[in-house]
Amino acid sequence: MRDALAFHFWTYLVPLGAFVVGPAFGLLAALEQRARGRSAALGLALGCGASWMGGIVGSMAGALTFGDFPYACPSPWLEPLFFVPCPVAGALAWRAFARGPRVSSRRGRPRVWVAIAAAVLSPVLVLSVWDGRRWPARRHLPEGAVVLEEEALLDDFLGDFSYRLRARMDRAQLEAWMRALDVAPTDDPNRWGTTFADGGSHWAGARWEDGVATFESGSL
């Protein structure tokens, strides 16, 4: 099982390439095609496709280099190197479509809007991915609670996991936290516990002692 909380640039680069970089170069290629009286749909398809193929090639190169990429990569700072083929391939496709005489006299402005849209969407996408990858217990943590410890292990193949979070909070915050996570109280007033069956059974429980709540969950 791997450390599911370890930071990896690749986690954010993959959706960035798929939903921002690829479509951006596809639109740029489509604009070049349209300006020359050629098929904009072909430019869009090949511009996107070139970027996506570049991303696939980069991912394969990472897997050949480190095996279990990106998790076996010795440093997350090496991961962006394997993303480079994605924008490079898209840029090459875009420039390939920019050859030939222009039919339209419109210049520059559409490309500027594509660049602005990509610049705006990139941080929005990264932030949404970051929030979506946080564990539910962390996302629903009450405001004012202080995290003391968090650890998570995940088996990507089997889907097994274990998670533990310790945070300082008062009892009211803990009760609200458990309600948000649908974890039921037990006969012990300082303990909560529930077993879930939502496609893959797992359990969740918590205990409260001396102002510190300890939440744990895992596969059955």
pLDDT in tens, 198-217: 655 789 999 999 999 999 99
The top-scoring range by mean pLDDT among 43-52, 148-157, 192-201 is 43-52
90/39 same-domain check = yes
62/127 same-domain check = yes
172/198 same-domain check = yes
β-strand 161-168 against 191-197: which pairing, if any? unpaired
Spatial distance between the Cα atoms of 10 and 3, rounded to a whole number of angstroms = 15
Question: Could you tell me if residue 29 is left (phi over 0), alpha (psi between -120 and 50 degrees) or otherwise beta?
Answer: alpha
Spatial distance between the Cα atoms of 80 and 59, rounded to a whole number of angstroms = 10
> What DSSP letter does each residue of 128-153 carry, written as one string?
HHHHHHS-HHHHTPPTT-EEEEEEEE
117/40 same-domain check = yes
Domain coverage including residue 141: 137-219
The last residue of a domain, from among 133, 153, 182? 133
Number of structural domains in the chain: 2
Residue 25 clears pLDDT 90, i.e. is over it: yes
38/121 same-domain check = yes
63/120 same-domain check = yes
151/64 same-domain check = no
Digit-coded pLDDT (tens) for 104-119 = 655 557 778 888 888 8
116/51 same-domain check = yes
Residue 217: how many other CB atoms lie within 10 Å: 22
pLDDT, residue 199, reads: 55
Quick one: which of 191, 193, 188, 142 has its CA closest to 169?
A: 142
The last residue of a domain, from among 133, 152, 174? 133
Residue owning tokens 């012990």:
188
Structure tokens at 95: 């420039």
How far is the CA of 210 from the CAs of 17, 144, 148, 157, 213, in angstroms?
A: 47, 17, 14, 38, 8
23/112 same-domain check = yes
Spatial distance between the Cα atoms of 217 and 3, rounded to a whole number of angstroms = 15
21/61 same-domain check = yes
- pTM for this structure? 0.76
The last residue of a domain, from among 133, 161, 193? 133
146/211 same-domain check = yes
28/48 same-domain check = yes
Residue 171 clears pLDDT 90, i.e. is over it: yes
Question: Could you tell me if residue 182 is left (phi over 0), alpha (psi between -120 and 50 degrees) or otherwise beta?
Answer: left
